[in-house]
Amino acid sequence: MSDRAHTRSVVLGVAWRTLHRLYTTPALLLPSLVFPLFFFLAFAGGLSSISKVPNFHYPPGYTAFQFAFVLLQSSAFGGVFTGFGIAADFEGGFARRLLMAAPNHKAVLAGYALAALSRTLLTGAIVFGVGLAAGMNVDGNGVDLFGLIGLALLVNFAAGMWAAGIALRFRSIQAGPFMQIPVFLALFLAPVYVPQSLLKGWIHGVAGLNPVTAVLNAARSLLAGSDVHIALGFAAAAGLGALFVLWALRGLRRAENAT
Amino acid sequence: MSRTRRAGLAFTLMQMGQLARRSVMRTLRQPAQIVPALVFPLFLLAVNSSGLSSAINLPGFPTRSYLTFALAVPFMQGALFAAMNAGTDLANDVESGFFNRLALTPLAAPALLAGMLGGALALGVVQAVTFLLVGVAAGAGFAAGPGGALTILALSIVMSVGFGSLGAFVALRTGSGEAVQTMFPLFFVSLFLSSMSLPRDLIQTDWFRTIATYNPVSYLIEGIRSLLITGWDAHALALGFAVAAGVVAVGLAAASLALRTRLVRT
C-alpha cells in the first residue's frame, strides 16, 4: 500500500469510528442536535420583537437573523464535541494505540476533523429544516447557501482544531471546560441579538475586535442575499482555521512525545 | 413539650447542624463549585445587558435600563447552580459509600436531608450578596430600596433551597453524579423559555408567550424584577414567593420519598 493510500485509510478509519460511536451513542448525539434547536427556538421565538427596535434592519426577518448565529454555534460546538471525543480516546488508552499503529499521525487528526465536518453537516441540515418549518425567509440564492455551508464548515474546522489542540495537550476529558468556554465566550461576544450597529457600550468595542463578528455578519449577509462583509467573514474563518491547525499540530507533537 | 421530646429535638438539631456544617464547608472549599456559579451568571448578565440594551426602545418596555431588567436573571441562575451543586455533592456521597455509612447511624432522615442542603443555602447567600453588590456597582436601579434588596436576598435563599432539594431528589433517586449533571440542560431550558429576556407582554411569538406564562421560572424572575423596577408590587411578590415555596415543598417531598427508598435499600 502506498503512503497516500495508508494516510487515506487512517483518515477514513478514524472518521468512521468516530461517527459510528457518535451515531450509536444517543447520549453523545442528542446534545449536539438538541442544543442548537433549543437556542434557535428560544432566541428566534422569545426575542422576535427585538426586530421592532428602531434602526433594526434585516430584510429576511428575525428568525433568519438568529438562524445564522445558531448555525455557526452548532458548527462550532460540533468541533468542540469532537475535541471531547479525542480527550476521551486518550483517557481510554485508544488514542495512544492509534498513534502507535498509524504511520502518519497527522492522518489521525485529519480523521477526527473529517468526522467533525460530517457531524456538522447533519446538525446544520436539521437546524435548517426546523428553520424553514418555523417560517424562516431565505433571500440568498443557491450560491449564497453553498457559501453559508462552506462558512459553517470552516467554523467547525477552526473550533475542532482549537478543541483538538487542548485535547492533545491535556489528554483528559477534564480539560472539557477549556475547550468549551472560550468558544462560548467568542460566540456570545459577537452581535448575537441585534446587528453590530445597534450594540452599545463595551460590547460594541469587543464585538468589533472579535473575529467571530465578521463571520457572523458574513453568514447573515449570505442568508439575506447581500454581498456585504462576506469576504471578510471567510478570511476571518479561514485565518482562525489556519491558526488552530498549527495549534493542534503542536499539540499532536506533545501527545506523540508523551506516548 | 416533655423533657424527652425536647431532648430529641435538640439531638436532631445538633445532627442537622453537624451535617449542615460539613455541607457548607465542602461547598466553600470547592472553588470549582463556587466560581462557575458566580462567574457564569455575571458573564451572561454583562453580555445580555449590553447586547439587548436596545430593547428598552421597544414601546411598553418597563424601564430605561436593561441592566436593571436583566439583574433578576442571575438570581434564578444561581438557584439552578444550587440544584446542580447540592445534587452532585449528594450523589458523590452515595457513590463513595459515605451515605450508606451515614444511614447506618441513628441519624434522623429529616436531619440528613436538611443538613445536606446546608451547602446549597450557603452558596445561595454568597451568590445573592455578590449579585446584589455587582448590581449596585454597575448602576442598576433598586426601586424598592434597601428593604427590597433584603427581600431579594430572602427570595433567592428560598429559591436556592427549593432547587437544591430538586437536585437532592435526583441524586437520591439515581445515586449518580452524571445523572445530576444531565439535569442541567433541563433547568437551563426552563430558564430560557421564561420571561428572562423580555417582559411577557412584549413577547411577540404566541407559543413562546404561552410557555413563558405556564413556566414557574417566569414568576420567580418577575418577583425579583418587580423589586428592582416597580417597587413593592404585592401581586408579583406573592406569586414569586408562592412559586418558590411550591418548589421547596415539591422538592423536599420528592427528596424525602427518594431518601426513604434509598434508606430501605441501604
Q: What is the pLDDT of residue B31?
A: 72
CA distance B192 to chain A (A): 6
Q: What is the pLDDT of residue A67?
A: 94
- Please tell me which of A99-108, A146-155, B36-45, B185-194 the model is most confident about, judged by mean pLDDT: A146-155
Q: What is the pLDDT of residue A118?
A: 92
CB contact under 8 A, B43 and A185: yes
Spell B124-163 as b/e; 16+ CB within 10 A means b.
bbbbbebbbebbeeeebebbbeeebbebbbebbbbbbbbb
If you measure CA to CA, which chain B residue comes closest to A189?
B47
CB contact under 8 A, B51 and A191: yes
Compute the distance between CA of residue B72 and CA of residue B118 in angstroms, rounded to an integer. 23
Q: For residue B1, what pLDDT band results from cuts at 50, 70 and 90?
A: low
A94, A95, A96, A97: CA torsion to nearest 10: 50
Residues 207-226 in A contacting B (C-alpha not used; CB under 8 Å): none
- Section B182-194 average pLDDT: 80
| Residue B198 backbone phi and psi in degrees, to 5 | -140, 155
Q: For residue B209, what pLDDT band results from cuts at 50, 70 and 90?
A: very high
Q: Does B53 touch chain A (CB under 8 A)?
A: yes
Domain with A44 in it: 3-258
CA distance B13 to chain A (A): 39
- Section B16-30 average pLDDT: 77
Lowest mean pLDDT among A2-6, A230-234, B1-5, B240-244: B1-5
**Residues sharing a CB contact under 8 Å with residue A4, sequence separation 6 or more, in sequence order:** none
Its pTM stands at 0.81
CB pairs under 8 A between A and B: 78
If you measure CA to CA, which chain A residue comes closest to B44?
A188
Residue B23 has pLDDT above 80, yes or no: no
CB contacts of B203 in chain A (<8 Å) are: 46, 48-49
CB-nearest partner of B197 from A47, A52, A188? A47
Higher local confidence (pLDDT), B189 or B166? B166
**Arithmetic mean of pLDDT over chain B:** 86
Question: ipTM score here?
Answer: 0.72
Q: What is the pLDDT of residue B200?
A: 94
DSSP notation for A61-126: -HHHHHHHHHHHHHHHHHHHHHHHHHHHHHHHTHHHHHHHH-S-HHHHHHHHHHHHHHHHHHHHHH
Q: What is the pLDDT of residue B266?
A: 58
Residues 158-217 in B contacting A (C-alpha not used; CB under 8 Å): 185, 189, 192-193, 197-198, 202-205, 207-208, 212
Question: Closest Cα to residue A11, out of A160, A114, A92, A120?
Answer: A114
CB contact under 8 A, B205 and A42: no
CB contact under 8 A, B50 and A194: no
Q: For residue B71, what pLDDT band results from cuts at 50, 70 and 90?
A: very high
Q: What is the pLDDT of residue A31?
A: 76
CB contact under 8 A, B58 and A49: yes
Compute the distance between CA of residue B131 and CA of residue B152 in angstroms, rounded to an integer. 10
Lowest mean pLDDT among B8-12, B65-69, B144-148: B8-12
- Section B131-156 average pLDDT: 94
Q: What is the pLDDT of residue A1?
A: 62
- Burial bucket for residue B76 (CB in 10 Å: 0-12, 13-18, 19+): buried
If you measure CA to CA, which chain A residue comes closest to B43?
A185
From residue B116, alpha-carbon distances to B3, B24, B123, B266 in Å are: 28, 9, 12, 18
Question: Closest Cα to residue B205, out of A214, A253, A163, A40?
Answer: A40
Q: Which triple of cell numbers denotes residue B250? A: 415539591
Lowest mean pLDDT among A187-201, A234-248, B13-27, B114-128: B13-27
Q: How many domains, chain A?
A: 1
Compute the distance between CA of residue A184 and CA of residue A101 in angstroms, rounded to an integer. 35
CB-nearest partner of B208 from A45, A185, A201? A45
Residues of chain A falling short of pLDDT 70? 1
- Section B218-228 average pLDDT: 96
Lowest mean pLDDT among A35-44, A232-241, B31-40, B151-160: B31-40
Determine if residue B107 is left, alpha or beta; phi over 0 gives left, psi from -120 to 50 gives alpha, anything else beta.
Answer: beta
Lowest mean pLDDT among A168-182, B208-222, B230-244: A168-182
Q: How many CA atoms lie within 13 A of B118 on its CB side?
A: 20
Higher local confidence (pLDDT), B200 or B86? B200
Residues 22-81 in A contacting B (C-alpha not used; CB under 8 Å): 31, 34-35, 38-39, 41-42, 44-50, 52-54, 56
Q: For residue B265, what pLDDT band results from cuts at 50, 70 and 90?
A: low
Q: What is the pLDDT of residue A256?
A: 86
- A124 neighbors A28 (Cβ within 8 angstroms): no
Q: What is the pLDDT of residue B227?
A: 96
CB contacts of B189 in chain A (<8 Å) are: 38, 42
CB contacts of A44 in chain B (<8 Å) are: 205
